Copies of this chain bind each other. A is one copy, B any other.
Amino acid sequence: MIYVGDVMNNNTSELNRLEKARKIIRDIIKEKGREYLYDLTGIAGGFIIHKTDLELLETYVGPAIFSEKLNEVGVLHFGGAPSIHKAVGFNRTSAAIFSTIMALSNDITNVIHYVPKKPSHPSIPRSCKIFNLYYFESDNVDEILNRINEKTLTIITGATMDHKIVELENLKKIINSCNEKNSIVFIDDASGARLRLLYNQPPALKINADLAVTSTDKLMDGPRAGLLCGKKDLVDKIYNEGLKFGLEAQAPILAAMVNALKSFKLDNLKEALKRTENIDLSPLINAGFECEKTPTGFIIKNLSEEEYINVALKMLENYGIITITAAGMPGASKTLRIDFCSKDAKRLTDDYIINAIINSRI
């Protein structure tokens, strides 16, 4: 378990790292231009907005229009049914998770979390800690199944921060057990909502999850935001709690979420998948890096946290390559990950990327 107090000691160095990265990004934009930056995070996101949208983006008018549209396209994205499901926008996926745990905290005692590979995204144990809920995480299905009852909330991570995907059989087993025991089950499908589709898995609500959340900037061109979808009464309860603490997505973000969801195409991900299959990582291996392919890119596995950050900051400064390691939020995974999903990835050769990694370690 991670305690809020423990994590806070690490605050300053994380914020320093983030500010250093942001300064390098600013300098490159000022001195050379945006085209000399290459966002290979896979979560570059985007902000697609139409001129007609812009007139409607006020505090009270905006949400009235875009919350309805987001409901329509959001339910569709998760394979839900408009008669029983509802979709709403949160400022981030972490905020949706926090709201969910807050809203359910009076009804449950334990949160049980199945991750395809440990550890969990820190927002889940942190939220549990705040509401005094016992938190248990495991990558072993049986350990999860044993613990499900009416007083538990079961969370399943669809794909980890390093893009390891849940197996469909395990996913179904846990959901079915929750359904049988009348216990709420929630899929944290931040990137999984799209990555799982790439491997022919069904969307979350098609296989009877009560709730699911996804990040509209992950593996699609939307803004950084959390799309929460599920059974209407649950979503209402969670959204209403979130509103009280300012966790909901605001009108401009809602509008961009709608546009990105409408224009999402699985074909872009399929191209990234193909590029990953074809890339030759042997130069990296020869230079002493341990590599592993992910669905839409690869990760470097054998550096220390300090080395990861040094390499990532040099890659940013000297090659313009943005990674989560360098520019991610405090608490995000430090493992160096390269993702081919972004528009920027198409402007770079495999050689450029591989050389950038090798030369940044020296």
Residues of A within 8 A of B (CB): 4-5, 7-8, 11-12, 14-15, 21-23, 25-26, 29, 34, 37, 39, 41, 43-47, 49, 54-65, 67-68, 90-96, 98, 102-103, 106, 122-123, 126-127, 130-131, 217, 223-226, 236-237, 239-241, 243-248, 250-253, 256, 322, 327, 329-331
Contacts and interface: CB of A to CB of B under 8 A. Distances in A.
B252 A98 contact: no
Contacts of A26: 64-65, 68
A43 B45 CA distance: 29
Nearest to A41: B60
Contacts of A130: 102, 130-131
Contacts of A226: 246
A59 B34 contact: no
Given A47-B58, A59-B45, A252-B253, A15 B68 contact: no
Contacts of A322: 60-61
A3 to B, nearest CB: 10
B244 A7 contact: yes
A247 B99 CA distance: 11
A23 B56 CA distance: 15
Given A26-B68, A236-B12, A329-B243, A44 B59 contact: yes
28 contacts: A8-B106, A8-B237, A21-B60, A25-B60, A25-B65, A26-B68, A29-B65, A34-B61, A39-B59, A43-B59, A44-B59, A46-B58, A47-B57, A49-B54, A60-B322, A91-B247, A94-B244, A98-B245, A102-B130, A123-B246, A126-B244, A223-B252, A224-B250, A225-B250, A226-B246, A243-B329, A244-B329, A244-B331
Nearest to A130: B130
B5 A106 contact: yes
B91 A246 contact: yes
B247 A247 contact: yes
Number of this chain's copies in the assembly equals 2
A248 to B, nearest CB: 8
A91 B89 CA distance: 13
A226 B246 CA distance: 9
Contact of A251 (B57, B67, B224): B224
A181 B22 CA distance: 37
Contacts of A49: 49, 54, 252
A250 B59 contact: no
A61 B217 CA distance: 13
Contacts of A63: 22
A354 B237 CA distance: 37
Given A91-B91, A244-B122, A246-B92, A217 B11 contact: no
A130 B132 CA distance: 10
Contacts of A122: 244
A60 to B, nearest CB: 4
A51 B91 CA distance: 23
Contact of A15 (B47, B236, B247): B236
A114 B213 CA distance: 39
Contacts of A41: 59-60
B223 A330 contact: no
The 5 A-B pairs of least Cβ separation, nearest first, read A92-B246, A95-B246, A94-B246, A22-B64, A47-B57
Contacts of A123: 244-246
